[in-house]
A and B are shown apart, each in its own frame.
Chain A
Amino acid sequence: MAPSRAFTRLAAHRRVLGVVGRQYQLQRPYYSYDHPPPPGPFNQTEHAILSAAYTHVPEHGFTQHALSLGARDAGYLDISTAVLPDGPFSLIQYHLITKRQALAPKSRAIFNALDAAPGDGAKGQTMKIDDRVERLAWERLLSNADVIHRWQQALAVMAQPSHVPASLRELALLADEIYHLSGDGAVDPSWYTKRGTVSTAYVGAELFMTNDRSPGFAQTREFLQRRLEESSKVGNALGGVAQWMEFTAVAGVNILRSKGMRI
């Protein structure tokens, strides 16, 4: 059952609004390379039920029914879906988390293939960060393709007030993952604007994709490219203004110094 258009808009609105306020709830814990990672968000039982239920999503949507079918497939009783207190939202989280985690091997495959491709050699290395970001966001959007006809329903669930923080957190983690995989190492305030920008563009494109009937979601990709291009234009303009102001201030001080002022 598709939710009303207004509700979907509300969902998008909430997600976009949240991008501004999201830094307050951002937790970026230290990422260790040589200590084992902490346990994942789902335990073994939950994982078994969710992965089985996920195969029923294209047919039955992100619903309690899909969860029950999944539990049965995994060899549990129907009632065992009670281990997932959030019900269908757990299924959505499972989708978000597994697709985010699948991005890392995918990005290696893509950029390594570009490196190996004949032609102007090591293309993946020379690819600009912005292009890599666009490519990764697009790959992540493509991984929604199997469930895209159920995605409006999922957005509505994510927009429920009790689920909004977790949904935004997942969006923030996705943006961070995309920038991390793109090889961007900037750790100045642009860290925030970059992640905010890609989150907004991603959410917009995701919503656009739910209504996109073009083959291979070509229009969604154009939409995504336009959004990212717009924000990089705005970013460049603001950066230019800031640089000009800094230059003028420094030049002013230096003129005063050359006049003999002791500053």
Chain B
Amino acid sequence: MRKSHQSPLHDFLVPALVTPSRRFLSTTSRNNANAASVADASAPQKPKRKPLTQEQRDFLSSALRVNQAGELAATLIYTAQTPPLVNAHPHLRPLLSHMYDQEAGHLRTFNALIAKHRVRPTALYPVWSAAATALGWGTAVLGREAAMACTEAVETEIGDHYNEQIRTLLEMFERWEAEGYEVGDDLRDLTNTLRRIRDEELEHLDHAVEHDAKQARPYWLLTGVIRAGCRGAIWASERV
């Protein structure tokens, strides 16, 4: 652990010579052959990229899969919470629609990433859809505080989870760089996307606490159950 985050200097120093063409879908080897020859011609000392090991590929696919499942659940929770909650507390409408819009954007991001990298979506998709709708609606009917406690619990788990993924990715990059390889742009973009999304999720957590999440009764039971459910769902989505 030499450094905890990537220095921007590195990004600057690595020229964008080898941006592979995305025109064709499955020309990975050809693109890399081109990239390698370009690199050889212009800068022989340029570090090459290392193939992903099976373990790394498994990590990346389960990470994308679980993130998609999580964002799907989040959009459905907010969708289900909105009508009962806004009916009782009309002043919450802008906040809920803001949070929903952000979650829908995250879901679109991960849907696109899953399709692009040919990762299998979770097989428990219908289960998560039903569970998330029930959770969102149930907590909204219990009241404003319960709904906010639900948001708080979910976003806490999700924030931790994203942090863990970012940490794993950065460790992977560090090991590559120690061996003199360079990191692909896709993976750098993925890390930045994860950072941005994590920050937005933690913003939602702050909004929830500002709106009296801690006043929910029984707070410990609600958040405990929801957090345990989230951890179970994450565990399952990483696998199937």
Chain A interfacial positions (CB closer than 8 Å to B): 23, 26-39, 104, 108, 176, 180-181, 185-189, 191-192, 257, 262-263
Contacts and interface: CB of A to CB of B under 8 A. Distances in A.
A-B pairs, top 4 by smallest CB distance, nearest first, are: A34-B184, A28-B120, A30-B60, A29-B57
A29 B65 CA distance: 11
Contacts of B184: 32-35
B51 A35 contact: yes
B28 A262 contact: no
A118 B236 CA distance: 51
B186 interface: yes
A23, A30, A39, A188 — most chain B CB neighbours (10 Å): A30
A55 B42 CA distance: 41
Contacts of A39: 51
Contacts, number: 111
A192 B64 CA distance: 17
Interface of B: 18, 20, 22, 24-29, 31-32, 35, 49-54, 56-58, 60-61, 64, 68, 83-84, 87-88, 111-112, 114-121, 123, 125-126, 137, 141, 184-187
A187 B68 contact: yes
Given A36-B28, A36-B49, A104-B26, A262 B88 contact: yes
B88 A28 contact: no
A263 B133 CA distance: 13
Nearest to B84: A263
Given A30-B61, A34-B185, A263-B137, 5 more contacts: A34-B31, A35-B51, A36-B49, A186-B115, A189-B123
Contact of B112 (A23, A31, A38, A185): A185
B83 A257 contact: yes
Given A30-B61, A32-B117, A181 B25 contact: yes
* Chain B interface mostly: helix
Contact of A23 (B32, B35, B123): B123
A58 B142 CA distance: 71
Nearest to B64: A30
A180 B26 CA distance: 9
B149 to A, nearest CB: 19
B58 A32 contact: no
Contacts of B53: 38
Contacts of A34: 18, 20, 31-32, 35, 49, 184-187
B87 A191 contact: no
B26 A181 contact: yes
